[in-house]
Chain A
């Protein structure tokens, strides 16, 4: 049973990682704390739910649409909310995105009501792969594989493309990047959009096993902040490793110490790591 619990933790960790990758882009690279990150995830879930309920489109198939929609939401957020407070103190941007999070959450409640919504009968729903004594849920496996693939794609984009390198350069020194001819305004918009696309994709991967309500994503949002801090700000591979770590610690902690403590253990781990290594486990 313990092995089964660890497998479940790894699967959950991959999903956490993808949610955190989006956050690490804006927080670590742009140095902007997007408090509305969880609500981006929420709207991604509603997008996947809407496509499923209206067009019977399986979330796995509608993933690109969910990602694209939240990419647009991210770009829109940058131009309408973030850009206007970019030169102000960090606290101003934080409060602006906090306000946005309230708007997005309440808007979701107004449109979709507070009622839970379930995406059922998906391609991988309630199916398992049996390996010896272990069961692997296919919906979790699909989410994990999708999450890993997308994280690697983001990593490749950041490291190998001209735009990705420009994002890195902007994160290192905005003024110098501007002197080198980089349109930092455009880069910020793309980064915010990319962050949105990540959570939009994560949302599509998660809806087969996550009931949706306006409060669904609050904990995911908190865990994403922990993962980004543990993984090192702006470190995409760090977010991946930290996501896995959090998933496994949550599962094992819950198994050994009681499930009511499983999140407390994560936050305890976070506090200890921050005291010993403030840059995060994988930060530089």
Chain B
């Protein structure tokens, strides 16, 4: 028996190491939703007729005349823990390539033109690298792509992967556009030294926190919500810890009192104890920095213990996963809100977004979500920069990206502009609230609002 104990201790150490390794790579997670039947004809099919092919195949076509293709690279997690998300992001990028390389019946120059006008109609050739949901491999894959004469690199979804790719891009002095990574450290100008080549489209968690508090102030002013006390439940990793820091840092500035900060491990099997601590603090509003699995467990626990705060504000992560809409609807709750860069309900108000969404939906069966729209934007931005620079030289693209504002009719904010650290200073996301299982735009108060917020009183 004693030898068994020793074996047991060794075994546990091995298992614990495996567990740490597994949780370390965990990033924004997605849940599968039932894929609806594909829509009728895709916009691409409508414009290009029966011979329309896959966008990836389109990239292989040689442009007319002597013009050479312009090569871009993209590192994405196409296998491993975040493979499904990576596959969807790849489709979003391919949609962008299709819009750029082929003429589409859409009132937007990028889509109307065939190829890059400033480069005599040169087409984009997009090369993909699979980081296998691993930051080390992301670095290797980026290096492989950078050896293939690419003029820019995109990706790589999780902040850790993006940082690894950006470090390689700096070595080669090639511009990088990161669509969806949210860690503020990527563009704080202090943590990393790749600011000269790095550009990030997504709002970071600092920007998101400020918008959340503005929203709560709005609820107090217009709906007399009486929100004073706030608490946060956050996953104990880089994403959650930074969200918690922002949450606590800005609460007093916006007039709110922090009553609880509950951290939990990425591998939790149940969230009841964590939920109990939140409930015990009795906040008016709960912030959640959680992935889909954890957020679902919290939602079930809150509901089971009959706890209904005035609002639950979610930092990207699990809330953006379309399957959470089904969870919230199943629980019969309408108090979940969070940041989004995309919402299907905006289709009628944004024709370019609608067109892109339909192209994406034809290939995936899903509405385009925030991260996918941001990765789509990364490819579009490269081309916009080349159009402005009139060149496909990496140095010219870097200059163009830093010194211009770019038209983005697929985002509610309508444009993208980077600061000196590469952060998009235009808020790419807005606040949506899950009302009867549908993401409704509730803030900021502009023409894109689709519903009044519901405050749980």
Contacts and interface: CB of A to CB of B under 8 A. Distances in A.
Interface of A: 1, 4-5, 8-9, 12, 27, 31, 33, 90, 94, 109, 112-118, 120-121, 125-128, 135, 137, 139, 209-211, 213-216, 218-223, 225-226, 228-229, 233, 250-251, 254-255, 258-260, 262-263, 267, 270-271, 274, 278-280, 283
B12 A279 contact: no
Given A115-B84, A121-B330, A274-B5, A8 B269 contact: no
Given A8-B273, A126-B304, A229-B5, A259 B264 contact: yes
Nearest to B233: A259
B22 A215 contact: yes
A212 B196 CA distance: 41
A137 B2 contact: no
A213 to B, nearest CB: 6
5 contacts: A128-B304, A128-B305, A209-B300, A214-B81, A278-B1
Contacts of B321: 116
Interface string B211-253: 0000000000000000000000000100000000000000000
Contact of B16 (A210, A267, A279): A267
A126 B306 contact: no
B365 to A, nearest CB: 13
Nearest to B1: A279
Contact of B30 (A90, A112, A116): A116
Contacts of A116: 29-32, 292-293, 296, 321, 323
A81 to B, nearest CB: 18
B214 to A, nearest CB: 29
Contact of B263 (A209, A251, A258): A258
A255 B279 CA distance: 12
A115 B30 contact: yes
A33 B7 contact: yes
Contact of A115 (B32, B262, B279): B32
Contacts of A218: 15, 18-19, 22, 267
A118 B277 contact: no
A187 B11 CA distance: 26
Nearest to B270: A12
Given A12-B269, A267-B12, A135 B296 contact: no
A116 B321 CA distance: 10
Contacts of B30: 115-116
Contact of A220 (B18, B269, B304, B326): B269
B457 interface: no
A129 to B, nearest CB: 10
Contacts of B272: 5, 8, 12, 137, 251
B265 A260 contact: yes
Given A116-B30, A117-B31, A221-B15, A254 B273 contact: yes
Contact of B12 (A120, A213, A270): A270
Interface string B1-36: 110110111011001101100100010011110000
Contacts of A112: 32
Nearest to B32: A115
A267 B262 CA distance: 21
A10 B291 CA distance: 26
Nearest to A208: B300
A5 B32 contact: no
B2 A278 contact: yes
B345 interface: no
Contacts of B32: 112-113, 115-117
B300 A113 contact: no
Contacts of A128: 304-306
Nearest to A270: B12
Nearest to A229: B8
B83 A219 contact: no
B273 A259 contact: yes
Of the candidates A127, A225, A228, A251, the one having the most CB atoms from chain B within 10 angstroms of its own CB is A225
Contacts of B7: 33, 90
A120 B273 contact: no
Contacts of A126: 300, 303-304, 330-331
Contacts of A90: 7
